[in-house]
Structure 1
Amino acid sequence: MQFDPTSIIILITLCIIFVVFLIFDLFERNEKAGYLAYIVALVPVNYFWGIEGDPLLVYIILFSLWILTLLRDTIGVYLDKNKDINEILLYLFLAIIIQLIITAIMPEVNEDLQLTTEKILYFWVPNVHSAIFVDFALAFKIVATVFILLIVVPLIIDVKDEEAPLPIVIIFVAIFIIPFLYLSYIWVPEIMGVLTFLFSVILFIILLMITKKE
């Protein structure tokens, strides 16, 4: 698929729909549809992927849209007090699962989308280490890192001074092994196991310091 006036109009329309959900709270409808922005972001991004075919650029855009939405909701949690962190994570993780399913299907249907990607298990993800455009690779690493930090930091703040027995702390750390592993892989794949272990230990220590025992 190539860019033409029709595809451009469709893409712009899909982006407008995302913006509507991003600023949904401004309509003062007292509904939770604003959380759908995480899922709605997938539509223009994957439509663009089908047209453009550069997965690095696609994921730079996707992570950027998710970062905007996370910033909106983080402000809502800690300043406006009108957001719930559990609902934020629910919709975000649902969006991530849907995107993983899409990455398993779209490149199989359209083999052109497999270019500059690598297959990990069933999923075709951007191959950041063989990227043609170095600037895209660096931008991808940065936005991916910021995205994961925007998930980890609010969660750490949320559990501060909460009662958390040691098994719960360990489970909490285990949940973040995959994000830490991916961050280590895109930055320094040669030592990603060691870096993941280091990040996990640091998070474990932080959680022990800020949570209370029962």
Structure 2
Amino acid sequence: MAAAPPAVAVDGGMAAAKVASQAYLETKAGKDTRVLIADLCKQFYSLGWVSGTGGSITIKAHDDSIPKRQQLILMSPSVVQKERIEPEDMYVLATNGSILSSPSPKPCPHKPPKCSDFAPFFLKAYDMRYAGAVIHSHGIESCLVTMVNLLSKEFRITHMEMIKGIQGHGYYDELVVPIIENTAHENELTEQKIPWEQLIKYSL
């Protein structure tokens, strides 16, 4: 039986964290998570849930030997067509947001890799909801429901089979999703503009 990989040094030095994370990512959990994100990006693209370079998928590399709050976070890159993402294209982040590993640049015409501007918000969901994964969708349906009533601050829905996929909800329950006014650039969505307590309450 293989020895358990070392845990990530959350409060330690960056060098120690990188050494630990490299061993961690070489485990089956790390490799499988890379492949899963790449596969999901392709599938979501085909379903229209993400478009072009828009949207993101981030998953913690689950390993029973490492406490969930210390598990490494793998994140799909920005400025890359989602249907073309490969397992080696992922960013690796520590739970404090430090980038431990970046994908290698590819030759022209590929753009240099870039970590998502939404990374701070993903980390917030991991911290506040003890999440194992966070998905940022650019689905056209998601955009359209926010435009049914331009003055509404939330979207409400009930009697839908898929509501059962949301923790604590069933077919007859009402799901309430906050609507947050968008900005021209994702990094302009500051802490002050997002009602975190309300948003996290209705997330997975």
TM-score w.r.t. length of structure 1: 0.27
Pick the structure with more strand per residue.
2
